[in-house]
Structure formats: structure tokens, C-alpha cells
Chains A and B, each alone.
Chain A
Amino acid sequence: MVIVQVLAGGLLLGAIYALFSSGLTLIWGMMNFINFAHGEFVMLGMYVALLVVVWLHGGPAAFGLAAAIALFALGVAVYLSLIRHVIRGPMPAQILSTFGLALLLRYTAFWIFSANFVSLPQTSLAGTINLGGIFLPVAQLVAGAVAIALTLSLHILLTRTSAGSKLLAVAEDRTAAMLMGIRPDRMQMLAWGLSAGAAGIAGALMATAYPWSPSVGETFGLIAFVVVALGGFGSVLGSLYAGLIIGLIQAVSAFWLGAIYKDIVVYGLFVALLWLRPQGLMGKA
């Protein structure tokens, strides 16, 4: 019974991994660009949730929405002020731009919020639920379910709507898309907004169930790399499966090997993937 509980916890955490990783994979698929500050976007989403709860006494819906909107705006701002300019420059400058941004955000968060771990004050999602002998915190259950629903909506947005088709058209061939009357700049801006927004809301969901400090951004950024590498670069559905798998692997290795080894196993998996199957499990070669 204990192992079922461990697996359920891993899946629910993995669902949140899937949500923020889908943001990273969206940017990679759109513009062949890796955002090294993606984990920091998740971290900021967590603090936005905290501020909304502490200052405005907002409920889960309010702080989830607030984190999504705030990070969507940040994503758009980062695209307009930074990414749009470096994307045409040399590749080292592209990598340095978001790497520098990650440092800036991480240490500004340290400066403002200190290095101490914090957690959300009691919300309406307190308590545990008994599912046939498995005890799961309500907060984790809700967060996991919402994360899966949102990741699937992002997938549907990309594959079934006209905005999604435009996004994919720009990803496919910028010039051809432009000739069809699509503005690539506006679409890429939207992609950055969606990507950061997904990270922000994932952070808010994570905040309901787990404590955190400013340094979690680095861990989440690396986990997003692993999920994207496993699911295939550019595939939202791939990162949904991969996120759930990574969550499971983490939970199982924490259970059997000890909590400090869970990241070693996951990063080791990443290195092995780069060696054996760099296009990802579901990615195209």
C-alpha cells in the first residue's frame, strides 16, 4: 500500500513537471531556443501565489490566475526586450541572454525573499482525502489534476485552434508564414507569453502542496530539460508523458534510495538520454 501511495504522489508531482516543461518545449519547438530561465519563471509563479494569498487573501483560483497573468506578462516583456534582439545574433549570445536572466531573477528573489523556505498559509485546499486506503493531500490532488488539464489544453490549443496553427506555421517556416499573412514576431511573443504563463501557473500549483525557496528555480529548470529531452524537443504531448514518468522515477528513487538520490537518478537519466537518444523518446530523429 505504501508503494501505491508513493507512486500516486510521484504522478501528481509529475503532472506539474509536465505543465511547466510543456512551456519550455513550446519555445524550443517554435524557435530552436532553450530558455535557461524557465525554472526561475516557475519559482516566480510560486512567489506571486504567496503574495496574493498573504496580501490579498486570495483563494486558489485567484492566485493561480494571478501567477498565470503575471508570468504571461513577464514572458512577453522578456521576449520584446531581450529575446527578439538576440535571436538573430550569434548562438553564444542567445545562450548567455537567458542564462544571465536566470541569475538575475534567482538572486533578486534571494535579495527580496531571503533564502529561507516558505510555504503557502493554510488555504481552502487543506486536508487529506482517503482513496481506498491511499491518503492524498487535497492540494496535491487538485494541483495534479489541474496541471494535466492545462497541459492537455495547451496541446489542444496548438493542434486544434487557428492561433495554434499560426504558431506551428511560424515554427515550420517563418518566411512562408509571413507570406500567408501571419506576423511571426507577434506569434513568437504569444509563444513566450504562453510558455512563461504555463510556468507561472505550474509554480502556483506547486506552491499549494510543497514548500520552496528561491533556489528551486535551478532544480526545476534542470528537471524541465530532462522532461523535454525525454519527451522530445518541441512536443507538448511528449512532455506530458515524460513529466509523469520523471515524477514517478523521482518518487520511486526517493523511496528506495533516499531523498538526496532522487535528483542524481534524474540528472543521470538526462545524461544517458543525450548519449543514447538525443531526439527524445517520442521525438523525431
Chain B
Amino acid sequence: MNSILSRRAAILLLAAGLLLYPIILPGAFYRDIGVTFLLAAISASAWNIVGGYAGQVSVGHSMFFGLGAYAPLLAYTLWGWPPLAGIPLGVLLSVGLAVAIGMPTFRLTGHYFSMATIAVAELIRIFAGTWGLVGAAIGLQGPATARGWWDLTFRGELPYYFIFLAVLGALLVTTAAVERRRFGFYLRATKASERAARSLGVPVRQTKMQALALSAAFTAVAGSLYVAKTGFIDPDSGFGILISVQMVIVAALGGAGTLFGPLFGAMILIPLQTATNTWFGGGGSGLTYILYGGIIVLIARFEPGGLFELWGRIAPHLRKRSDAA
């Protein structure tokens, strides 16, 4: 009872903190970090549905992010659609791609899925870089000035911050609902042991496929939000492997397969990334990825459950100590 209450209080506190953050720290610098953090949290939480809960590690999720980013700008460039109307198009394409990848690979072990995702993402990246319709290597640009709110082109950071926050909220509510339902139990059973799950009547392939489709849809939305904010996309910022890397590391650091793990991962990593970029200037981005690689290796080796699980192990000891004192 007590733990449920404290959990609820912690969630309320977190929500209040996120809502008030841009008001407490109004500087453009802090708002930019806030928006970047929210985008990382959304992407990683979306990845988490298939990579964390279902245990199918995608290392090419940038393909869905990129489709979500390209679709609104392509619809705008070709037909003058407002970017808002292009978002469902990106989601649709991503879900279709997810099904096409899941169908063959989910019959096999998880390694095949990982290899297929990295290869398909790279294939699409190179392809987008050569295809004139999507701007080839130069990429696509969105509306320079807004014709209306549906163009999702705002002057300041604040509207983006709250839109991103709303999407993150919707994603977490969806994930929490999934956790409690039969589908959530199927996911955990599939992750723990596919063979055992199948013997108990869990439709393993279908479960993995649904998880991937849901994950792809939200990742595409993340891509659309990114492009609404930047107004510009090219093959590397849409389909590049580093986009996938960031989703994987943010989720794995916080705790893959937990509701708030990716959120905490982003809370730690984004300020860290901003700091390394500020300290080391332009060369800092290279250092960031050395750091990312090192962190991923250390987590895989010592703490596969991420910091969230580590905290769950340490916290009771701390509480005992504070009770004794």
C-alpha cells in the first residue's frame, strides 16, 4: 500500500517537474536541452516496447525515425500538405516496414532480427542519399514560415516542449496500459523464454510483431516531431546509425523493459552529452560516442537491467540504513 502511494507520489512529482521545468529555467539554452531530452525520451521509450519489453534488440530503429521524419516534409514538398497531415503517412509506412522485417526474422532467433534491422536501416540510408525525389544527399526542407499552427513551425522552443511532453505522456500511458494487459504478460513471457511461452500457448511471433509495429509507430512520430522542430532532414540525421545508437543507449542505461527506464536514461545522458559537446567543442561529438560505446559495454557486462534495476537493489539497503540512524 505504502509503496503504491509513494510510487504514485513520485510520478506526480515527476510530471509536475517536467511541466514546470521551462518556467523555472526559462533560458533558451535550458529549453533547448529540455526539448532534446524529451525527444530522446520519446524515441527510447518507443524503442523500449520491442527492444526492452519483448527483448528483441533492434539496432536499426533509425529506419522508422527516418520514415517519420521524411514523410511530412516529402508530403509538403510534393503536394504542399501541412506537416501535421504527413505524420500519419510516416506512421503507416513505418508499420508496413516493421511487418516486412518482422515476418521473416521473428521465425528465427533474436540475432537475425538485430542483423536485419542494422542492414535495412543502412540500405534505406544509402538509398535515400541517392534518390532525387527525397532530395538525395541534400535532404528535404519544411515550411520556412508557418501558414498556420498545423504547419508545426513555431518561433520559440516552448510550443515544441509542451507538444513533445504531451506525446511522451501519451506514449508512457500506452506503455503502462500494455504492461497491465494480457499483451504485456505475453511480452514478458516471450522475453523470458520463447520456448516456454510457446508451450503455454503464447502466440510468440504475433506478440513480437505487435510489439514491433507499436514501437515503429511511436518511433515514426518521434521522427516527425524532430523534423517539425528542425524543419530539415537529410539521410544521416534521419536514417544514420547514430540515431539508432542513441535510442539503444538511452533505454539500456535507464533500464530496458521498464516503464520509466528510458526517461531516466535520457535525464542522465542528454545533459552529459551537452556537457561533453560544450567542453570539447566540435570534436566532442566523437568523444560522446566513445563514451556511449563504453557505457553500453559496461551495462551489458555488469548491469543488464540498467540503472533502474541497480537502484532497486541499492535503495532497500539505503532505506534500512536511514531507518537505523
Chain A interface (Cβ < 8 Å from any Cβ of B): 28, 32-34, 36, 81-82, 85-86, 89-97, 99-108, 110-111, 218, 222, 225-226, 229, 260-261, 263-264, 267-268, 270-271, 274-275, 278
Q: Judging by beta carbons under 8 Å apart, are B299 and A96 in contact?
A: yes
Q: Judging by beta carbons under 8 Å apart, are B112 and A274 in contact?
A: yes
Q: Judging by beta carbons under 8 Å apart, are A271 and B120 in contact?
A: yes
Q: Judging by beta carbons under 8 Å apart, are B111 and A275 in contact?
A: no
Q: Judging by beta carbons under 8 Å apart, are A97 and B118 in contact?
A: no
A-B contact pairs, 7 of them (CB 8 A): A86-B300, A89-B300, A96-B297, A100-B249, A106-B293, A110-B286, A270-B116
CA distance A93 to B109 in the complex (A): 14
CA distance A81 to B302 in the complex (A): 11
Q: Judging by beta carbons under 8 Å apart, are A222 and B297 in contact?
A: no
Encode B118-139 as 1/0 by CB contact (under 8 A) with A: 1110110011011000000000
- Chain B nearest CB: distance from A106 CB in Å? 8
Which residue of chain B has its CB nearest to the CB of A115?
B286
Q: Judging by beta carbons under 8 Å apart, are A34 and B114 in contact?
A: yes
Question: Does B150 sit at the interface, judged by CB under 8 A?
Answer: no
Q: A96-B296, A218-B241 are in contact. Are A90 and B122 (CB under 8 A)?
A: no
Q: Judging by beta carbons under 8 Å apart, are A274 and B116 in contact?
A: yes
- Chain A nearest CB: distance from B104 CB in Å? 5
Question: Does B301 sit at the interface, judged by CB under 8 A?
Answer: yes
Q: A99-B59, A100-B300 are in contact. Are A267 and B241 (CB under 8 A)?
A: no
Q: Judging by beta carbons under 8 Å apart, are B119 and A34 in contact?
A: no
A85: contacting residue among B127, B295, B301, CB under 8 A: B301
Encode B46-69 as 1/0 by CB contact (under 8 A) with A: 000001100101010000000000
Encode B276-315 as 1/0 by CB contact (under 8 A) with A: 0000000000110110111111111100100000000000
Q: Judging by beta carbons under 8 Å apart, are B126 and A263 in contact?
A: yes
Q: Judging by beta carbons under 8 Å apart, are B59 and A92 in contact?
A: no
Question: Does B256 sit at the interface, judged by CB under 8 A?
Answer: yes
CA distance A82 to B290 in the complex (A): 17
Question: Does B95 sit at the interface, judged by CB under 8 A?
Answer: no
Question: Does B141 sit at the interface, judged by CB under 8 A?
Answer: no
Q: Judging by beta carbons under 8 Å apart, are A99 and B296 in contact?
A: yes
CA distance A90 to B287 in the complex (A): 29
Residues in A with CB closer than 8 Å to B126 are 260, 263-264, 267
Residues in A with CB closer than 8 Å to B298 are 100
Q: Judging by beta carbons under 8 Å apart, are A104 and B119 in contact?
A: no
CA distance A206 to B215 in the complex (A): 40
Residues in A with CB closer than 8 Å to B245 are 103
Known: A28-B111, A86-B300; 17 extra A-B contacts, CB below 8 A, are A82-B300, A86-B301, A91-B55, A91-B57, A93-B301, A95-B111, A96-B57, A96-B304, A101-B293, A101-B297, A106-B289, A225-B115, A260-B126, A264-B123, A264-B126, A267-B122, A278-B105
Residues in A with CB closer than 8 Å to B40 are none
Question: Does B110 sit at the interface, judged by CB under 8 A?
Answer: yes
Residues in B with CB closer than 8 Å to A34 are 111, 114-115
Which residue of chain B has its CB nearest to the CB of A226?
B119
Q: A32-B109, A85-B301, A91-B55 are in contact. Are A103 and B127 (CB under 8 A)?
A: no
CA distance A271 to B292 in the complex (A): 28
CA distance A46 to B55 in the complex (A): 35
CA distance A218 to B60 in the complex (A): 13
Residues in A with CB closer than 8 Å to B146 are none
Q: Judging by beta carbons under 8 Å apart, are B293 and A102 in contact?
A: yes
Residues in B with CB closer than 8 Å to A222 are 118-119, 122
- Chain B nearest CB: distance from A254 CB in Å? 13
Residues in A with CB closer than 8 Å to B270 are none
Question: Does B252 sit at the interface, judged by CB under 8 A?
Answer: yes
